[in-house]
Amino acid sequence: MALRPTHELHKRRFSRNLGVGLTLVAFIVIVFGLTVAKVTSNDFSLPQSVVEQN
């Protein structure tokens, strides 16, 4: 029961999937970085309606 070599189509599909995956990871990192920058800035405050309830 020998293993067949990987078909060329699978190699191309893997490289495309890898590219899409890396793009998705980069997008998530950018969004996370912007969120951290927004929350850690000194001018971040809760909405007035939330402050009044407490």
pLDDT of the residue at 32: 97
- pTM, rounded to two decimals: 0.62
Q: What is the pLDDT of residues 1-54, one digit of tens each?
A: 567 877 888 888 999 999 999 999 999 999 999 999 888 877 766 677 766 665
Q: How many Å apart are CA 29 and CA 41, to the nearest integer?
A: 18
Q: How far is CA 48 from CA 26, 29, 43, in A?
A: 34, 30, 14
Nearest in space to 15 (alpha carbons), one of 28, 2, 6, 5: 6
Confirm if 38 and 44 have CB atoms less than 8 A apart: yes
